[in-house]
Every structure is written in C-alpha cells, then in structure tokens.
Amino acid sequence: DNQSVELLQKGDALPAKEPWASMASTGEW
C-alpha cells in the first residue's frame, strides 16, 4: 500500500506520537 510507505515517511518527519511511529522506531526498517 502506498499509504503505508507514506505514513512511514511522514513518521520520520513528525514526532513519534502515533502508535505506528513507535513501531517504526523498533528498527524494523
């Protein structure tokens, strides 16, 4: 999904407030 990639990109710029942002912080990517 393009939305998933878009969220990941936005999460990098925005503060880790969203739950999916925390998941990205785990270092899976």
How confident is the model over 6-28, as pLDDT tens digits? 666 655 555 555 666 556 555 55
Which domain range does residue 8 map to? Answer: 1-29
- pLDDT at res. 20: 63
Separation between Cα atoms, residue 21 and residue 7, nearest integer Å? 8
Q: Residue 4 — very low, low, confident or very high, per pLDDT cuts 50/70/90?
A: low
d(CA 8, CA 1): 11
Q: How far apart are CA 18 and CA 5, in angstroms?
A: 15
Please give the tally of structural domains in the chain.
1
Region for residue 22 given its phi and psi (left: phi exceeds 0; alpha: psi -120 to 50; beta: otherwise): alpha
